Amino acid sequence: MNNKGLTLIELIISVVLITIVMLFMYNLLNDVNNENNDNSYAIENQVNRSEILQVIEEVLLTRRVNLISITDESTNDKLLIRFNFSDGSNCLLEADETTLKFTNNEGIMRKWTMVDATLNFNKVCTKYNLKNGLYSLLINLEVYTDNDYNRQCAKCSNNIIDDLIISYVGNDDVTLPNCIGYGCSSENSCK
């Protein structure tokens, strides 16, 4: 007898093989989509980062008055850094877990929100270098993006590429703290 049909076992095996191939294709497409989303978030965060630094450094560097002090007004849920200038004006930098706000000396506020990233609003490290009557100041606000290499945890290391590093150059000697924020303490200060 010459039967040309499919048996039930052959049909089940075909369905299982097609299902396995479809699951593999779904996972592959899902990974490509996630990678595309991660790249777009990274680009958006880089644009935010560039805009933040441009606005803050423009205010700090283009003013014709000197920075005389930085005041730490941080709370346990918000980083507050006040830049005080020799003419009596000031600027305020505020940060929480995902949002950064900067209010310039004229009271104009700019706000940025990070996507798939968190800001370390508990502690900001500063580096101060005095040489030949000029000083340079770097303020490092750590940004933790959502990937395996840059997370906020005790064992993880920070990837400084994503950090917001604000720079300022002045000509007067200023007393500045090396650690700013609610999370600063003698055992948790910056090195």
122 CB-near residues (< 8 Å, 6+ apart): 79, 181, 182, 183
Q: Could you tell me the residue ranges of all domains in the chain?
A: 9-180
pLDDT in tens, the chain (191 residues): 566 777 888 889 999 999 999 999 988 887 776 665 555 656 666 777 788 888 888 887 777 777 788 888 988 899 999 988 888 889 999 999 888 899 988 899 988 887 777 888 888 888 877 777 777 888 888 887 765 455 555 455 566 677 888 888 877 666 677 888 888 875 556 76
**Is pTM beyond 0.75 here?**
no
CA dihedral sign of residues 113, 118, 120, 125: negative
Other Cβ atoms closer than 10 A to 142 = 21
